[in-house]
Amino acid sequence: MKILSDNTSLLKSLRPFNDLGFVPTMGGIHKGHLSLINKSNKLCKKTIVSIFINPKQFNKKTDLKSYPQNIKKDLKILKKSKKVDFVYIPKFNDIYKDRKKSKIKILKEDKILCAKFRKGHFEGVLDVMTRLTKIIKPNKIFMGEKDFQQFYLVKKLLETNYVTKIIPCKTIRDKNNLALSTRNLLLDKSQLKIAAIVYKSMSRIKKNIKNKKNIPHFLKFKKKELKNNYKIKIDYLELRNKKNLKLSKTTNNSRLFIAYYLNEVRLIDNL
Ligand code: AMP
């Protein structure tokens, strides 16, 4: 496993390879990241993982400040997996040296879910993903379905403009079915318990939704119920079509999306 900490060594090391799988991360490596790495290792000759906490996608300074990081531990886990050929740990300037201001705009129809509640977040994600793709030139990029809207927007942008394929990977969960996330490290025991209950409620809601005539009304009621029972702030609880992310009136080809806060920690999930 070779560590690449600047663009010169990256370009030199990657030059001989033309079947490259790329797993972008912000570190805090967990089994969710490792599942993406496994898939890349199976489908591509070489796998490169990036660790870069991209400041431009944080719409709150406090969120960026508290974002967990431990490069030493990450490298140990990645090495132990024996599935990673390169780890790219760029500095801010390696990515943003080309100071051209990003022209990325989120379309009005895409300003839904997290794009509506986290202003500027996806502009930052799409900017950094474009820059990483230009630098690394991967054949395939592996992304988690836990961040479904991110996968959807990145796929739409990058597959239109670059020769790369975005490969979705299933959400990995802990023993209580909570979707693994680096931000889970910020939760205490009682908050983890509530997060597990939210998952259970989501799967019950998804099951019951089938026989409901007025889905938005039913979800509005369930959102209120969750909010009152567990004292959580909920940004959205919506059923959307997984191909175009439009609001859905049936469970066919649809996913139930949630974003909520446990104190200051914002969690998302979809089933
Ligand atoms: P992050 O480090 O949180 O930015 O995530 C890096 C990549 O890992 C993204 O494509 C995420 O969607 C993916 N990922 C994060 N958590 C999970 C999970 N629990 N299961 C599958 N993929 C995940």
- Looking at the CA of residue 181, tell me the nearest atom of ligand 1: 16
Q: Kindly give the distance from the C-alpha atom of residue 106 to the centroid of ligand 1, in angstroms, as a whole number.
A: 21
Span 267-271, average pLDDT: 98
Model pLDDT for residues 17-46, shown as the tens digit of each residue: 999 999 999 999 999 999 999 999 999 999
Span 69-85, average pLDDT: 98
Q: What percent of the chain has pLDDT over 70?
A: 100
- Looking at the CA of residue 29, tell me the nearest atom of ligand 1: 2
Q: Kindly give the distance from the C-alpha atom of residue 68 to the centroid of ligand 1, in angstroms, as a whole number.
A: 14
Q: Which domains does the chain have, with CATH numbers?
A: 2-169 (3.40.50.620), 182-270 (3.30.1300.10)
* pLDDT at residue 147 in the model: 98
Q: Please spell the DSSP secondary structure of 92-105, one letter per residue.
A: HHHHHSS-PPP---
Q: Any catalytic annotation for residue 33? A: yes
Half-sphere exposure of 254 (CA within 13 A, CB side): 18
What residue owns the CA closest to ligand 1's atom 10? 143
Residue 270 Cβ inside 6 Å of ligand 1? The answer reads no
Residue 74 Cβ inside 6 Å of ligand 1? The answer reads no
Span 195-201, average pLDDT: 98
Q: Please spell the DSSP secondary structure of 133-189, one letter per residue.
A: HHHH--SEEEEEGGGHHHHHHHHHHHHHHSS-EEEEEPPPB-TT-PBP-GGGGG--H
